[in-house]
Amino acid sequence: MYWILEILKILWSTKENTDFLNLMIAVINAFIALLALIVSATSIYFTYRALQIQREHNYKTVQPILGIRVGDHSDRLYVEIANKGVGPLIIKKMLVTNGVSDKKNIIDWMPVLNDNISWKNYMSNINEMCLYPSESLLLIELTGNTKSPKFKKARFEARKALSQLTIGIQYVDIYGRLMPDKIKRLTYFGRVKAIKK
């Protein structure tokens, strides 16, 4: 740009054209300054946008995905949660409802098991628990011998109670961002019309 200014100085080197030359130099300098301002503003915008995209990417690389799995086998009933995402999750709240009232866990909804039959596993409070990626947690589990009439009766009662429930879990990622609530109806346990003997 400097060589253009030198050519203009040579062309208008007379005294009459000095004012015009000074005006042209001022206009060119103003144009250059405006162009520098536009380039600076554009680079600031693209830097800001790149940082936004990087931040979104960072969030997604540690995003947890909560899954609720159920199992209804002849010798085992269970409900468990699992982190299927790539980042840890922290459970904030779990509610289990039958449509009329809510409780904080599944075991409070279950019938009392008699005849020396007991739950193999159950969780009474999972608030503030952390699940790492690919980790799972049994909320409730009943196991037994399929040849035992006592176990069959207990399994039938448990299926009946479980089929009426809906689980809702609220959780956050490691940044404390609230993830979409996970809700699952346990109607799967009501599909088997067991014969109570």
How high is the pLDDT of residue 22?
A: 72
Contact 75, 155 (CB under 8 A): no
Contact 180, 172 (CB under 8 A): no
How high is the pLDDT of residue 114?
A: 78
* Local structure of 141: helix, strand or coil: strand
What are the φ and ψ backbone dihedral angles of 192, each rounded to 5 degrees? -95, 120
Look at residues 196, 162, 165, 182 and name the one whose alpha carbon lies nearest to residue 71. 162
What pairing do the DSSP bridges indicate for beta strands 89-97 and 166-172?
Answer: antiparallel
What are the φ and ψ backbone dihedral angles of 182, each rounded to 5 degrees? -105, 120
The reply to whether CATH 2.60.40 applies to domain 66-190 is yes
Prediction pTM value: 0.71
What pairing do the DSSP bridges indicate for beta strands 89-97 and 130-131?
Answer: antiparallel
- Ordered mean pLDDT values, 10 residues apiece, the chain (197 residues): 64 60 79 93 95 88 92 93 94 94 94 85 92 95 91 91 95 92 93 55
First to last CA, the chain: 98
* Local structure of 166: helix, strand or coil: strand
The whole-angstrom separation of Cα 83 and Cα 96 is 19
CATH 2.60.40 in the chain is located at: 66-190
Give the relative orientation of helices 18-60 and 2-11 as an angle to the nearest 10 degrees: 170
C-alpha dihedral, 48 to 52 to 55 to 57, nearest 10°: -130
Residue 122's alpha-carbon distances to 18, 22, 138, 143, 163, in angstroms, are 94, 87, 7, 12, 17
Contact 70, 141 (CB under 8 A): no
Q: Which two tokens stand for residue 179?
A: 């993830």
